[in-house]
Amino acid sequence: MWFTLAEHAVITAGEHDTGHGDHHTSTGLSNNKLGMWLFLGSECLLFGGLISTYMLYRGRVGEGPRPSQVFDIPFTSVSSFVLLMSSLTMVLAVSAAHKGDDRNTNLWVTITALLGATFVGGQVYEFTAFYNEGMGFTTSLFSSSFYVLTGFHGVHVTVGIIMLMSIVGIMKRSKTPGSKAETVEMIGLYWHFVDVVWIIIFTLIYLVPA
């Protein structure tokens, strides 16, 4: 069901997908792109709320473990690096899409999805390790706010992976090379946003001591 919904969204976004300037709209800009930037602007408010809540509650550990006792900085640093490199592969996919090079677009998009899956896998491992160390969802205000914030981010990455795999499937069925350039660009914007949110989370949540 998720795949179908994501695929529908991707197809709708790319209905008039030229991949180049010249948009017959009142602004002269792509409505899809403007809509995506508006959505990302609103996402700042969502993640701003979650990060603020965590900042307020990070010292409220109750009987549970403190952040410094559970965080594994080397492991999370590697995860952050993986997500950062997925931004590079995504921008290379967008670049290839604008050149009408569907083969390389598919290659870079697939690598991006794999790097994203590695990041999510790392997050699942991290959550499991925290749980085994006695940090459950309801253990403390710190643990609840931490799981909600990083969990929401993980869900965003997962949705991004679904969109990436959907566009690979759609492009394989497409008969016109480069016809999905704008759709790839929209998914790229979403993916980079997920990366910049992690840049903030990694610094404020993991590196700044509570």
Partner 1 sequence: MTTETHSSTEHGMSNAGYVKIALILAAITALEVATYYVDFGPLFMPALMIMMVVKFVVVVSYFMHLKFDNKLFTWVFYAGLFLALGVYAVALATFHFFS
Residues that bind partner 1 in the complex, under the rule CB under 8 A: 20-21, 27, 29, 33-34, 37-38, 40-45, 47-49, 51-52, 55-56, 73, 77, 80-81, 84-85, 87-88, 90-92, 94-95, 98-99, 188-189, 192-193, 195-196, 199-200, 202-204, 207-208
Nearer to partner 1, 5 or 38 (CB): 38
For residue 156, the minimal CB distance to partner 1 (Å) is 15
How buried is 137 (Cβ within 10 angstroms: 0-12 exposed, 13-18 middle, 19+ buried)?
A: middle
Nearer to partner 1, 35 or 169 (CB): 35
d(CA 137, CA 139): 6
DSSP state of 26: T
For residue 81, the minimal CB distance to partner 1 (Å) is 6
> Which positions ≥6 away from 23 have C-beta within 8 Å?
29, 30, 31
> Which positions ≥6 away from 82 have C-beta within 8 Å?
115, 118, 119, 122
Nearer to partner 1, 90 or 171 (CB): 90
Supply 154's token pair: 């993980």
For residue 41, the minimal CB distance to partner 1 (Å) is 2
Is there a contact between 138 and 172 (Cβ–Cβ < 8 Å)?
no
Inter-CA distances, 119 with 5, 52, 72, 90, 195, Å: 23, 23, 15, 15, 11
Nearer to partner 1, 42 or 176 (CB): 42
Nearer to partner 1, 88 or 131 (CB): 88
For residue 10, the minimal CB distance to partner 1 (Å) is 19
For residue 36, the minimal CB distance to partner 1 (Å) is 9
